[in-house]
Each structure stands twice: as structure tokens, then as C-alpha cells.
Structure 1
Amino acid sequence: MAPGSDSLLVVRTSVAQGRRGGLAAALGILTGCMGWGIATAVGLTALLLASHPVYDTLRVCGAAYLVLLGATALRRSGKPADPGPAKRTALPADRCAAFRAGLGTNLLNPKAGVFYMSLIPQFVPRDAPTFSATLLFTAIDVIELAAWYWLLTRAASALSERVVRPAFRRRLEQITGVAFLGFAANLLTDRS
């Protein structure tokens, strides 16, 4: 639940598209977490630590995706702001894009895979079946994250309904754009 690119994406999407858009981004992130949990259960995440080329490829792809998100946010900050929450509706296509963005930020982050691979196996009892226990712990993590993203989405969308000034929305796009670029730089310089 530490603030990172996933939480930032949920906040930005909740402000820009409302609660449904934020929840769609969160659902994409949670789907990515389930993917990492399944990959851990079958042993695929071990490739991230065993193979530097695999880790580096995923790391560079993830950084490129964050650069794309950052550049898009900065480009949006120069456009006129939307008419505000009263006239704003999150269309299904917008929610699909939010879902894809959430899924992409999570699955293209090798640190998420390393997190699942290094943390979850520590809690699996020796006599428990590894596959099912790993999936159980992944489900617990996803449920906790779902509660966090639900709260975050509600708070961010409530804030956006109160702050309708175009300058606020432009500044938010600028801040999130720079933050995504910072997360990309951090991912590129990571040598885990």
C-alpha cells in the first residue's frame, strides 16, 4: 500500500474520470497482482532473479510505459480542462483504458514480481501445498489492496467533485506526469 505508480494512477484516474474510472484502474492493478501471484505459485517469478536479461527487459519496458503515462499526463495538462464532475461521465471505453493502464503499470513492474516471489513463500507452512497456499496468500493481499484502492478512489473522486477549477486539474496532470517520469527514472536506474 506504499505510495507508488499504482496508487498515483488510481488517484489521477479517480480525479479525471470519477470513481468508476478509478475503480477500473484499481481492478487492472489487482488483476496484475493476481497474475504475479499465479506466476509465483508456478515458479515463473524466479526467472526475474535468475535471469538478469529477463529482469532488465521487463524493467526497461515498464520504464517506457511509465514515460508514456507521464508524457500523456503532461500533454493533457496543456489542454483545456474537462467541464467538471457535473458534466463528466466515464465512458466504458475510458474505463477499459483505465483498466489497461492499471494492468500495465503492475505487470510491467518487475519489482512487483520480486515482491511476490520473495515475500509470499516465507509464509507458506512447510507441510502445506505450495501452489494453493501461495494463491491463498495472494488472494489475501489482493483483498487488502482492494480495500485500500476503494478508499483511495472514494477520497480522490470526492476531492475532484469539490475542486472543479481547471487550474487544479492541469496542475494535477503536471504533478502526476512528472511523478510518472520520476518512477520511470527510478525503475531504469534500479540494479536489483
Structure 2
Amino acid sequence: MSLENLLLFAGALLILFVTPGPGIAAMIARTLDAGPWHAAMYGVGILTGDIFWFTLAVTGLAAIADQLGAFWLAAKLVGVAYLSWMAFRAFWSAWTGARPKPVFKAGSKTSWAATYIAGVAMPLSNPKPIAFYLTLVPAFIPLEAITLPTYLLMVAIMALLAVPTAGAYIGGAHKARDWMTRPAVRRGADIVTGCVMTAIALVLLVAR
């Protein structure tokens, strides 16, 4: 594979990662709810889901992706359920004026695992990465030219681009976290967060 192809892949990935979408919105909400490290774990889950779709395209399984309807539906329902729960907690916090207690004890293995799984479910149920990896990547990248070393290099490029872009969003949200602890600001932010999470959940639910 040529350097031009790799640069094209990296450029397309950068646009995919930087453009705000459901994953970024949920990651920011996770930062405000549980802190930057949990948001980072959520981001690792998103990257895992992206690698899954990329691998599916590279291995030539894109042709049978339409047969994965049950799997996609299950992933979609997990993502929708998680976003709906986040929306409910945000609205409840705005209504009561008090931050909700965490579902799991902070830092527990259960909490980290739940955050990671929810992150994985996001790209598995989000049409944006699905369309990118299963249609756009094969259209611009000669998949037959991807060898194992090239595949590993492309996965490394994905990780190298995902870390700083996710870090920028998480860092910005974390810096604003203290300001957002003010009661009036927090209540308004909770309402906005709840509305955004509800909208994203509805989009994922009706997406084909």
C-alpha cells in the first residue's frame, strides 16, 4: 500500500474522529458525570468498536454485514439503553437539584467494565462509523493490498488519531466541570445533556 493511501486513510479518519457525533457527546457527558478517566475508558470502548468495523471491511466480510441484523440490533439496543439511562439521570439531577448517586462504586471493576461495554456498543450501533468503514474505506483504499503489517499499521494510526482528539474533548469538558458544579449552571447543563442524550438515543433507535 502506498504512502498516499495511508495519508488518505489518516485524513478521512481525522475527519471522522473530530466531527461531533453521538460518541463524542456521550464521552463528554461521561466526563461530567464520572470524571475524565471513565470518559477515557468509554473512548477506548468506542475505538474497539471502530476497530471491529475496520477489521470487518479489511477481511472482506463487508459483503455479509447485512446478515448481522440481529447482532446490530442488540448493539443498538445496548447503546440506546445506556444513552436513555444517562438522559434520565441528567433530567433527575435537574429536577431534584442533587447529583445522582453512581450506579456502581467509583473505580470498581464493574463500573469500568460497564463503561467500556457501553463505549463498544456506541460505534456498533452508530451508522456513522458503519458507513465509513464498510463503504467509504473500501471505496478509497485497495483492501486487497492490505497485508497483516499494513493492517496493524492502520490500526495504530487509528489509535494515534483517536487519543488526542478524544483527549481534547475530554480535557475541555473536565476543565469546565468545576464551573458546571454551580447549582444554576449544573441544572441547565443537566437539562441540555438530557435533551442531547435523548435525541441521540432516538436517532440510533430509528437509524437503519
TM range (shorter): 0.7 to 0.9
CA distance in 1, matches of 2:48, 2:68: 25
Aligned to 2:6: none
Aligned to 1:171: 188
> Displacement, 1:12?
0.9
Aligned to 1:148: 165
Alpha-carbon contact 1:45-1:114 (below 8 Å) kept: no
Consecutive unaligned residues of structure 1, counting only runs of 5 or more, are: 84-88
Once the two structures are aligned, what percentage of the paired residues are identical?
A: 26
Selected match of 1:34 from 51, 55, 58: 51
Residues 137-175 of structure 1 show CA distances to partners (whole Å, capped at 9, x for unaligned) of: 343233212210011111111110233213333333322
Taking the TM superposition and a 5 Å limit, the aligned residue runs for 1:47-126 are 47-48=64-65, 50-51=66-67, 53=69, 57=73, 61=77, 64-65=80-81, 66-82=83-99, 90-92=106-108, 93-125=110-142
Alpha-carbon contact 1:41-1:131 (below 8 Å) kept: no
Deviates more, 1:31-40 or 1:179-188: 179-188
Which TM-score applies when normalising by structure 1? 0.75
Alpha-carbon contact 2:72-2:124 (below 8 Å) kept: no
Letter matched to residue 107 of structure 2? L
Q: Is the counterpart of residue 182 in structure 1 residue 199 in structure 2?
A: yes
How many residues are paired up? Answer: 185
- Please give the root-mean-square deviation of Cα atoms over the aligned residues, in Å: 3.2
Consecutive unaligned residues of structure 2, counting only runs of 5 or more, are: 1-17
Q: 1:82 to 1:137 in 2, by over 3 A?
A: same
Which TM-score applies when normalising by structure 2? 0.70
